Amino acid sequence: MKVYDKEIYSKQESIRTIIVVIVVFLLGFFAGYLANSLNDTDELANTNSTYIQEDGQK
């Protein structure tokens, strides 16, 4: 016999909603972290420039 309980159903839906929000947040966080780390490697490659200034130029 199947028993329907509104309180249990309500708690299950609340828990399911919380879990979905946490999973979406974690996916977004890791995607942002990955994108930021990939972007930082390009900037580091461009910072090693050497400029030579000769005596006659200012």
* Tens digit of each residue's pLDDT (9 = 90 or more) over 40-57: 765 555 556 677 777 765
Is residue 53 domain-resident?
no
The per-residue pLDDT of the chain, averaged, comes to 82
13 part of a folded domain? yes
What's this model's pTM, rounded to 2 decimal places? 0.58
| pLDDT in the model for residue 2 | 67
In a domain, 1, yes or no: yes
Please report whether residue 25 resides in a domain: yes
Distance of CA 31 to the CA centre of its chain: 4
pLDDT at residue number 56 = 66
User: Is residue 52 a part of any domain in this protein?
Assistant: no
The structure tokens listed for 2 are 């199947």
In a domain, 23, yes or no: yes
Domain count for the chain, please give it: 1
Q: Is residue 48 part of a domain?
A: no
In a domain, 33, yes or no: yes
List the domain range (segments joined by +) for residue 5.
1-39
